[in-house]
Amino acid sequence: MTVHPPPGPTAVVFDLDGVLIESEHLWEEMWTRYAANHGVTWTAEDTTHVQGMSAPEWSAYLAERAGGHDDAATCERAVVDNMVEALGGGRMEPYDGAVAMVREVADRVPVALATSAPRRLIDAVLARNDLTSSFRATVSSAEVARGKPGPDVYLEAARRLAADPGGCVAVEDSSNGIRAAAAAGMTVVAIPNPTYPPKPDAIALARRIADGVGGARDEIAALLDGATTGAAR
């Protein structure tokens, strides 16, 4: 009797912030700046609370936290304006090897993006790094019912790829991102963010743990090749 190995993943879904581009610290900077402009001190606990939220979710929290002087839409616009300005000023760059990783994976299987970043920033980042054509689908959590840790953004990415979520690999760095991808039924490759490390319960949900982009590139290739070695869990 011939035993056939299980089929490899049929698609890969990447997060954006903290996976492809170094931007988590900039989000914290902009939230902190907005709060300070309204006389409020933004804390590390605030950052942890909103990481992974969709723009409508974090802007509602930030607007209330800053005293309710502006509505959520005004708050979101101000912060995203600052993020787009940071991108244009060269302060939001891809991690070394990230662009090549996406292109290499896209040559093998369909690739999607599932991110908490708003649409305006997604499109600007991909255009600046000549990655728009590499992604078959891009989804902002603002375009689904719930942000991370809800699975909605990952399920929608799989739907747009016409892929079974169970056959997808997700690449994530944050606690809520890992939880979201795992809740969607995807195989998670975690790139733990050293500045904002995932919680132990989230890391436990990852199938493979990667050391930076280079490690993630190797882990994705191993999964696509059907290899059982590596940092599998």
Of 45, 60, 88, which residue sits at a domain end?
A: 88
Within a domain: residue 2?
no
Within a domain: residue 33?
yes
* 2-30 exposure pattern, b = at least 16 Cβ within 10 A, e = fewer: eeeeeeebbbbbbbbbbbbbbbbbbbbbb
Is the domain of 73 the same as that of 103?
no
In tens, the pLDDT along 91-123 reads: 999 999 999 999 999 999 999 999 999 999 999
Q: Quick check: 1 pLDDT over 60?
A: no
In tens, the pLDDT along 43-82 reads: 999 998 998 889 999 999 999 999 998 999 999 999 999 9
Whether a cis peptide bond, with omega within 30° of 0, leads into 149 is yes
Give residue 77's pLDDT: 96
Phi, psi of 210 (to 5 degrees): -115, 145
**Angle, CA of 77, 81 and 83, to the nearest 5°:** 120
CA-to-CA separations, 48 to 31, 76, 141, in angstroms, rounded:
12, 18, 17
Within a domain: residue 51?
yes
Give residue 226's pLDDT: 87
Is the domain of 149 the same as that of 60?
no
Is the domain of 39 the same as that of 145?
no
Q: Quick check: 2 pLDDT over 80?
A: no
Query: What's this model's pTM, rounded to 2 decimal places?
Result: 0.91
- Quickly state the pLDDT bin for 136 (edges 50, 70, 90): very high
Within a domain: residue 233?
no
Domain that holds residue 156: 11-23+93-224
Identify the three-state secondary structure at position 161: helix
